[in-house]
Amino acid sequence: MLEVRNLTYEVVENGEKITIVKDINFAVGDGEMLVITGPNGGGKSTVAKLLMGVLKATGGELLLDGEDIKDLSIDERAKAGIGYAFQQPPTFKGMTIRRLLNLAAGEELPEPVCCDLLSNVGMCAREYLDREVDATLSGGERKRVEIATVLAKSHKICIFDEPEAGIDLWSFSMLVKEFEKIHERKKETLLLISHQEKIIRMADRILIIKDGGVSACGSAEEILPMLFDEDRECSCMNRKGGRMYGTGCDNK
């Protein structure tokens, strides 16, 4: 279980203290799927980075299975069982996709396993394995490789920061199926930052972050109507209805 208590992140700019996220509280149980959503610039990705240790929290507690991980580095958190897919993955000149997957897994993976990992994110595997993770890959391809690196290893908790960004509809469907499979197995906790209705609807619980704080948090049954019911006032989003997320064809 991951427990987040009063998570706060402040920066000082030109001598002035700016609060990016403040007093975030939530918990995710083992095998549970939590989706964090909310308006752009609200602090969702910052929370994800604070959980992984990409950014260092300035206040609060982070407990993984009861152990405080707030002072652990990113690599120590990885060893503690957290996997993380970056929103904007970096390129690596000279490194093949196969090599990156092996590094992510911490072992030499057999070729069929590498192929499966890529197929599961909608990539025609063999033609990609020996390609470099460089600028010759499109943004969507790099994003799918990024997700595959997290899937290459078993984790206690997997954090995906906007996994849908830059991905075509067909690959997105494959990705949703992959998340469904992980969720059904209930072996790994899933924490996704997302704006996509399909992903949000898969969640056990939904957390809405706005202006650096928790605007709403609850079960999917509680929160979904706020987001997607046309006739309800959505106070957490400061807008009516939830159409902002839909792909169109799913919204009746």
Residues contributing to the site for another protein (CB under 8 A): 52, 54, 73-75, 78-79, 83-84, 86, 88-90, 92-95, 99, 103-104, 106, 149, 153
Residue closer to another protein (CB basis): 136 or 231: 136
Query: Smallest distance from the beta carbon of 153 to another protein, in angstroms?
Result: 8
Query: Smallest distance from the beta carbon of 74 to another protein, in angstroms?
Result: 5
Alpha-carbon distance of 235 to 227, in angstroms, equals: 9
Strand ranges for 69-204 from DSSP E: 82-85, 92-96, 132-133, 157-161, 189-193
Query: Smallest distance from the beta carbon of 186 to another protein, in angstroms?
Result: 24
Alpha-carbon distance of 230 to 141, in angstroms, equals: 35
Which residue carries 């909608």 as its tokens? Answer: 122
Query: Smallest distance from the beta carbon of 9 to another protein, in angstroms?
Result: 16
- How many helices and strands in the chain, by DSSP H and E? 9, 14
Query: Smallest distance from the beta carbon of 134 to another protein, in angstroms?
Result: 10
Residue closer to another protein (CB basis): 91 or 138: 91
The dihedral of CA 215, 83, 153, 122: what is its sign? positive
Residue closer to another protein (CB basis): 11 or 103: 103
Residue closer to another protein (CB basis): 104 or 234: 104
Alpha-carbon distance of 26 to 78, in angstroms, equals: 21
Residue closer to another protein (CB basis): 149 or 215: 149
C-alpha separations of 30 from 39, 52, 158, 245 in Å = 27, 17, 11, 27
